[in-house]
Amino acid sequence: MTATGIISALIIGLIIGALGRLVLPGRQNIPIWLTILVGVGAALLGTVIARAAGVADTAGLDWTEILLQVVLAAVGVALVAGVTGRRGVSRY
């Protein structure tokens, strides 16, 4: 993998991880590096699943693939936040 590929994976991972955090209710107190890691994993896994299902090769944006990646990121962030036990608690 080239340096450009690594930087692209980190940027996509950050975006997918952030979107995964946004769709979850409440506050998840996990570090940004862990969000990126979950996002990169979700982006890669989502691409593999989308290609296996035959929905990754469409004209234009692959909305099904992006939706799959965001859902996987949300599940990943929820699991990591639950396992680490650092879930935010509302004070109100």
Closest among 21, 51, 26 to 36, alpha carbons compared? 21
Task: Tell if the pTM clears 0.75, that is, is over it.
Answer: no
pLDDT in tens, 58-90: 777 778 888 888 888 888 888 888 787 654 554
Could you read off the pLDDT of 14-59 as tens digits, one per residue? 888 888 888 877 777 788 788 888 888 888 888 888 888 887 677 7
Q: What are 28's strand-pairing partners?
A: 87
Tell me the two tokens of residue 69.
């990646």
At residue 61, the 3 state secondary structure works out as coil
DSSP label of 13: H
Tokens 């290609």, residue? Answer: 51
